[in-house]
Amino acid sequence: MERVLGLAPSEARPGNEGEPSAREERTARGAAVHALLEWSEANGWAEPSEDLALRHAAAAGLQQADGLVDPVRQWIGSPLREQIAAEATRVRAEVPLLLGIGGTVLRGSIDLLVEREGAPPLVIDYKTDRLGGADPAERASHYGVQRSIYALAVAEALGASAVEVAYVFLERPEQPAVSLLTAEEMASARAELEGTIARITEPEFPVAAPEERDWSLCRGCPALRGLCSGPGAVEAGGESVEV
């Protein structure tokens, strides 16, 4: 709806162009926190000052830096970060990602790439999502495609037969969701990704089945209410009905 038809997200508010939407503010806060984490890694995992946080906030388009240092501080003191400090032979932040697959090239970046002697490389992905009481492992399961891309790209770049991927929700960094992808699992992931890319390149965009709709998928979609009933709808006599 946004990328093909060019429609604005449903959170956009006409007439308030100068005010960021809730999604824009979440994105800006996430960018500022990631920038502070990158600075911290480059400076021996030092805690950023409030002045530095304010400058990063301004660069991200935020008016204030409230709460930006807390997630960085929590990650610095977490068991996984201390384990990395003890075991890593090489640590790099914001590593460019490049993966050729399915006739296309995927580009991105990895928050933190850790190489260890005698152990698979470890990909750290920081998440600023609010868990709202959810289990980190369950929330991390929503990022399966992203996890596969990370693992495949790192395996190819480093010649690794297995890759670990850890999703660190900064609200609870002491509970990272860590998974190990073996060569067999990565081969299966590659096949699934190729199938996904093939479907994306087809000029068909079917609506998600009602049972597959939830707010993590539908929140912000321009089609809500006008073209699609979104979560909480049932079919009655061939028409969508809100419940």
| pLDDT tens digits for range 10-37 | 764 444 444 556 777 888 999 999 999 9
Q: What is the pLDDT of residue 232?
A: 64
* Same-domain pairing of 67 and 162: no
Q: How confident is the model at residue 213 (pLDDT cuts 50, 70, 90)?
A: confident
* Same-domain pairing of 64 and 87: no
Q: How confident is the model at residue 235 (pLDDT cuts 50, 70, 90)?
A: very low
Asked if 120 and 109 count as a contact pair (C-beta separation under 8 A), the reply is no
Q: Comparing C-alpha atoms, which of 35, 77, 69, 31 is closest to residue 51?
A: 69
Structure tokens that stand for 92 in this block:
């790099």
Pick 36 or 134 by higher pLDDT.
36
List Cβ neighbours of 9 (8 Å cut-off, separation of 6 or more).
2, 21, 23, 220, 221, 222
Q: Estimate the crossing angle of helix 144-158 against helix 183-201, to 10 degrees.
A: 120
Beta-carbon neighbour count of residue 34 at 10 Å?
21
Domain count, the chain: 3
Mean pLDDT of 178-185: 96
* Same-domain pairing of 118 and 199: yes
Query: Domain ends where: 61, 76, 91?
Result: 76
* Same-domain pairing of 47 and 146: no
Mean pLDDT of 47-74: 93
Q: Mean of the per-residue pLDDT values for the chain?
A: 87
* Same-domain pairing of 161 and 181: yes
* Same-domain pairing of 8 and 54: yes
Q: How confident is the model at residue 227 (pLDDT cuts 50, 70, 90)?
A: confident
* Same-domain pairing of 64 and 169: no
Q: How confident is the model at residue 196 (pLDDT cuts 50, 70, 90)?
A: confident
Asked if 40 and 76 count as a contact pair (C-beta separation under 8 A), the reply is yes
Q: Characterise 192 by phi-psi region: left (phi > 0), alpha (psi -120 to 50), beta (else).
A: alpha
* Same-domain pairing of 43 and 32: yes
Q: What is the pLDDT of residue 20?
A: 53
Please tell me the distance from the alpha carbon of residue 128 to that of residue 62, in angstroms, as a whole number.
16
Mean pLDDT of 85-109: 94
* Same-domain pairing of 127 and 227: no
The full length of the chain comes to 243
Q: Which pTM was predicted?
A: 0.77
Q: How confident is the model at residue 242 (pLDDT cuts 50, 70, 90)?
A: very low
pLDDT in tens, 200-212: 787 777 777 888 8
* Same-domain pairing of 139 and 167: yes
Please tell me the distance from the alpha carbon of residue 115 to that of residue 2, in angstroms, as a whole number.
38
Q: Estimate the crossing angle of helix 50-59 against helix 22-42, to 10 degrees.
A: 130
* Same-domain pairing of 94 and 165: yes
* Same-domain pairing of 198 and 216: no
Give Rg (Cα) of the chain: 20
Domain span including residue 26: 1-76
